Amino acid sequence: MSLSSPPSASSASSASSASFRSSGSAGFSGTPGSPGSAGAFLGDVLRSEWTKFRSIRSIVYVLAVAFLVAGLYAFLFGTANGRAYAAAPAAERTSFDPAASAFRGLMLVQLLVGAMGALVVTSEYASGTMRTSAVVVPRRERLVIGKAVLTALVMLGCGPLLVLVSVLVSQAALASQGAPALALTDPGVPWMIVGGGLYMTAIGLYGVAMGFLLRRSAGAVSLGSFLLLLPAMAPLFPEGVARWVLTYWPTSAGGRVLALDPPIPDALSPAAGFAVLAGTVLVLLVAASALFRSRDV
């Protein structure tokens, strides 16, 4: 399945039209600035966005594939790391990190989460319904907020589940090879699941921002994935640049919420690292909203 393939124009148009009808004309006729109108209007936008989210199959498929990939890569990394542990000398086994098996798989899953966030936006550009959405919601920043809030709510529910799948499968694979494995009750593991869910939520919002900035699925997913994986290319950079990327690049910094080990020298704390990621995503969303308001749909 190609992540850049848009839904058919007819299905997306039907979903958009149906979602606006289901919200009711009264919900969209409130005068901006009148008491209570902003909250009611945003509620209508959220209901409309939820209908479109469920109706556009490519978005649902990408999220479903994210769960499959989380389990598959957790099994593969857990099995490979378990075999490496069994073959390692006793001196090297003391530094074995069971959490790494779950963490590595999630770094690939994030690409699908970012793609899902981008498709929330670019699917409407591809089908031509974004123009209709901009007419129905004349204050465009509310449309950006609606898509961002919906994506955040979806990922706040699905993000921790993705991390939980990765942890359970990877640790079961490690245990099957006789390697040390984590239990859900071990210190730090519940926070890793919660923190990982917050990380995935931020990546979904990052995808929304890239969708508004680039407007095309291929561009938003390709460039978005490249930027997410940039820390993996750090060995190619000069030492000073590589150290900066591994410490302060948003995905490197934000990934600290998945770490169970104590902070290493010069590394950000989990809270500080996530603040870097969240701040970057917020800046991108503000820039996306400003650009969306200033240019033609």
pLDDT tens digits, 229-258: 999 999 999 999 999 999 999 999 999 898
User: For residue 11, what pLDDT band results from cuts at 50, 70 and 90?
Assistant: very low
User: For residue 27, what pLDDT band results from cuts at 50, 70 and 90?
Assistant: very low
Site of tokens 């890569």: 73
**pLDDT of the residue at 70:** 96
Return the closest-CA partner of residue 178 out of 240, 236, 93.
Answer: 93
Q: Is the pLDDT of residue 227 over 60?
A: yes
What distance in Å separates the CA atoms of residue 197 and residue 129, rounded to the nearest whole number?
Answer: 31
Torsion of Cα atoms, 273 then 226 then 60 then 277, to 10°: 10
**pLDDT of the residue at 165:** 96
Question: What value does the mean pLDDT take over residues 265-281?
Answer: 90
Return the closest-CA partner of residue 49 out of 144, 128, 113, 177.
Answer: 144
Question: What value does the mean pLDDT take over residues 42-71?
Answer: 91
Q: Is the pLDDT of residue 297 over 80?
A: no
User: For residue 42, what pLDDT band results from cuts at 50, 70 and 90?
Assistant: confident
For the chain, how are helix, strand and coil distributed in percent, rounded to 5?
A: 80, 0, 20
**How many percent of the chain have pLDDT more than 70?**
85
Token pair in block for residue 164: 């939980």
pLDDT tens digits, 114-150: 999 999 999 999 988 888 888 888 888 889 999 999 9
- Lowest-pLDDT range, 31-40, 156-165, 226-235, 267-276? 31-40
Supply the DSSP symbol for 88: S
Grouping H, G, I as helix, E, B as strand and the rest as coil, residue 275 is: helix
